[in-house]
């Protein structure tokens, strides 16, 4: 018996990229609500785009037999945020093999190391800083130092700020058009050249780096044909560690902003390790960050009566799914204790993508992110004495990524 066919509700018009920039994180949900459908069609960057929101929709999106990733991301996002030739654009066996190169660094020992580096760098920064601290700026320096050390990229003490100011435009300006987009591209070219240079030196043994770390391992990684990766691709993949570790500064800013906005929930977090974890999870659910994951339809198929045509760009709304009232009670309330009862599905709580780590494209750094956020929150709740001075911190729903600018004043 053939399934009843439904037409995917379609927004009329030639292109809606400007509305996306205006409506930001609400863009997909606004259309899903208007058409009362979890599957809608619009046009973005001059192309037809299907947008999905919800848990079953996330399960569909992460079905490798239905979607592929090669060239899926818009070219401007590849030239800024992602780079060309990296794991995000691979499929099948090639993807699995490359992803394993990343996941090999997500061991318990490696995660413990990243936590102790984060604690050490926060202490060092606060011991040497003024009373008034803008959390986002401080976190960028701390996390740049953590990222370079954890990946084994050699640097001198006074070089950390330069690294921070070339790594941050990769994610801060990835959603911009105009001059900021160019700055982001320029930063990527500079960084790729610098890291490619290191890879070549490692291979001809003209520098020695820590052989237990990612820079060394990626430089000697062999692809599925047993060949070394192109040095440029190694640089892209090393940046796939450095950039997002520095991007955790956005979540650190939002974590302290949550402490500022919800002091009673900060008291809840102080009570135990589990409560700290619930607070962090709620920060990742409640606040927006990565707007949508992107793939393309592998071959024509029909799902719940909706027709998906080969090669159509498809977006999964991460923020929308994390606020889906079919999944979350009172989704627009900040309530860390909801995570006491969360059953842990790979498809309902997806701030860093959904599905599986090894076979799918779920974020390789999700555990690092959570661990760094938790030790940072623990430090600020239990070890540092500070107040929030009068301030106008906050962000708009079309600031991608959102940075509140929250500031603290250390009590001496
Ligand atoms: C992929 C978000 C931190 C490494 C992703 C994806 C998202 C995401 C949404 C794509 C999922 C998909 O396409 O289905 C974030 C956010 C972070 C973060 C919001 C917070 C700062 C990290 C960290 C690392 C990392 C710390 C590494 C240390 C990666 C890699 C991929 C990825 C390598 C590609 C995975 C693949 O294509 O198989 N991330 N991420 N991310 N992330 Fe993260
Ligand atoms: C990372 O660096 O991978 C972690 C998070 C970065 C978020 C950057 C947000 C801007 C994304 C713009 C385009 C996304 C594709 C729809």
Ligand 2 centroid – CA 318 distance (Å): 11
| Per-residue pLDDT reduced to its tens digit, 154-193 | 999 999 999 999 999 999 998 888 889 999 999 999 999 9
How far apart (Å, rounded) are the C-alpha atoms in residues 148 and 355?
A: 29
| Per-residue pLDDT reduced to its tens digit, 89-143 | 999 999 999 999 999 999 999 999 999 999 999 999 999 888 999 999 999 999 9
The stretch 352-356 carries a mean pLDDT of 98
51 is an annotated ligand-binding site residue: no
Q: Are 149 and 231 in contact (CB under 8 A)?
A: no
Ligand 2 centroid – CA 173 distance (Å): 9
Protein residue closest via CA to atom 7 of ligand 2: 290
pLDDT at 76: 92
Ligand 2 centroid – CA 174 distance (Å): 7
What percentage of the chain reaches a pLDDT higher than 90?
95
Residues whose CB is less than 8 angstroms from the CB of residue 166 and which lie 6 or more positions away in sequence, other chains included: 187, 190, 191
Q: Are 159 and 276 in contact (CB under 8 A)?
A: no
The stretch 385-392 carries a mean pLDDT of 97
Q: Are 132 and 411 in contact (CB under 8 A)?
A: no
Ligand 2 shell residues, CB under 6 Å: 77, 81, 171, 174-175, 243-244, 247, 289-292, 294, 400-401
Residue 1 clears pLDDT 60, i.e. is over it: no
Q: Which atom of ligand 1 is nearest to the CA of 95?
A: 38
Q: Any idea which ligand is nearest the CA of 399?
A: 2
Ligand 1 shell residues, CB under 6 Å: 87-88, 99, 102, 240-241, 244-245, 247-248, 251, 289-290, 293, 351-353, 361-365, 368-369
Protein residue closest via CA to atom 5 of ligand 1: 363
| Per-residue pLDDT reduced to its tens digit, 243-272 | 999 999 999 999 999 999 999 999 999 999
Q: Any idea which ligand is nearest the CA of 140?
A: 1
Ligand 1 centroid – CA 241 distance (Å): 9
Ligand 2 centroid – CA 6 distance (Å): 32
Pick the CATH number of 17-410 from 1.10.630.10, 3.20.20.140, 1.10.150.130, 3.40.50.300: 1.10.630.10
Phi, psi values for residue 340, rounded to 5°: -60, -40
What percentage of the chain reaches a pLDDT higher than 70?
99
* Dihedral angle over CA of 81, 86, 89, 94, nearest 10: -160
**Is residue 36 packed enough to be buried (19+ CB in 10 Å), middle (13-18) or exposed (0-12)?**
exposed
Ligand 2 centroid – CA 401 distance (Å): 7
Give first-to-last CA distance, the chain, whole Å.
Answer: 74
Q: Which atom of ligand 2 is nearest to the CA of 175?
A: 12
pLDDT at 130: 82
Q: How many CA atoms lie within 13 A of 364 on its CB side?
A: 25
Protein residue closest via CA to atom 2 of ligand 1: 352
In what helix (H) or strand (E) does residue 48 lie, and over which residues does it extend?
A: strand 47-52
**Is residue 332 packed enough to be buried (19+ CB in 10 Å), middle (13-18) or exposed (0-12)?**
exposed
pLDDT at 175: 84
pLDDT at 203: 98
Residue 391 clears pLDDT 50, i.e. is over it: yes
The stretch 320-325 carries a mean pLDDT of 98
pLDDT at 320: 98
Q: Are 412 and 386 in contact (CB under 8 A)?
A: no
Q: Confidence band (pLDDT; 50, 70, 90) for 2?
A: low
Query: Ligand 1, from 151, 352, 368, 373: best to mutate by most atoms within 8 Å of Cβ?
Result: 352
| Per-residue pLDDT reduced to its tens digit, 197-240 | 999 999 999 999 999 999 999 999 999 999 999 999 999 999 99
Q: Are 340 and 278 in contact (CB under 8 A)?
A: yes
DSSP lists the bridge partners of residue 222 as 228
Protein residue closest via CA to atom 15 of ligand 2: 292
Q: Which atom of ligand 2 is nearest to the CA of 82?
A: 3
3-state DSSP assignment of residue 98: helix
Kindly report whether the peptide bond that precedes residue 401 is cis, defined as omega within 30 degrees of 0.
yes
Q: Confidence band (pLDDT; 50, 70, 90) for 3?
A: low
Q: Which atom of ligand 1 is nearest to the CA of 247?
A: 21
The stretch 291-315 carries a mean pLDDT of 98
């Amino acid at each position: 018996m053939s399934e009843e066919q439904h037409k995917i509700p379609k927004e009329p018009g030639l292109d809606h990229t400007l509305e996306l920039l205006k409506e930001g994180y609400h863009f997909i949900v606004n259309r899903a609500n208007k058409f009362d459908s979890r599957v809608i069609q619009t046009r973005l960057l001059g192309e037809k785009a299907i947008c999905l929101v919800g848990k079953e929709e996330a399960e569909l999106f992460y079905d490798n037999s239905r979607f592929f990733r090669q060239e899926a991301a818009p070219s401007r996002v590849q030239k800024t945020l992602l780079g060309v030739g990296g794991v995000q654009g691979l499929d099948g066996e090639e993807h699995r093999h490359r992803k394993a190169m990343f996941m090999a660094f997500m061991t318990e020992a490696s995660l413990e190391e990243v936590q102790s580096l984060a604690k050490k760098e926060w202490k060092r920064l606060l011991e040497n800083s003024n009373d008034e601290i803008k959390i986002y700026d401080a976190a960028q320096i701390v996390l740049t130092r953590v990222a370079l050390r954890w990946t084994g990229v050699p640097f001198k003490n006074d070089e950390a700020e330069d690294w921070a100011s070339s790594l941050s435009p990769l994610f801060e300006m990835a959603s911009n058009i105009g001059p900021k987009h160019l700055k982001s591209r320029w930063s990527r070219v500079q960084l790729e050249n610098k890291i490619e240079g290191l890879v070549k030196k490692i291979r001809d043994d003209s520098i020695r780096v820590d052989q237990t770390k990612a820079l060394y391992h990626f430089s000697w990684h062999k692809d599925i044909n047993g060949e070394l990766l192109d040095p440029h691709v190694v640089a892209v993949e090393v940046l796939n560690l450095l950039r997002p570790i520095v991007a955790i500064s956005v979540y650190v800013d939002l974590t302290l902003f949550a402490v500022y906005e919800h002091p009673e929930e900060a008291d809840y977090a102080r009570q135990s390790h589990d409560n700290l974890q619930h607070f962090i999870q709620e920060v990742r659910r409640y606040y927006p960050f990565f707007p949508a994951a992107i793939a393309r339809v592998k071959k024509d198929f029909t799902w719940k009566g909706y027709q998906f045509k080969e090669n159509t760009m498809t977006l999964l709304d991460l923020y929308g799914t994390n606020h889906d009232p079919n999944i979350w009670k009172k989704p627009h309330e900040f309530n860390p204790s909801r995570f006491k009862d969360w059953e842990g599905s790979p498809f309902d709580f997806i701030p860093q993508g959904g599905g599986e780590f090894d076979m799918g494209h779920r974020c390789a750094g999700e555990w690092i992110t959570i661990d760094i956020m938790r030790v940072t929150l623990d430090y600020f709740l239990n070890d540092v004495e500070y107040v929030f001075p009068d301030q106008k911190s906050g962000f708009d729903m079309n600031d991608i990524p959102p940075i509140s600018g929250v500031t603290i004043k250390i009590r001496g």
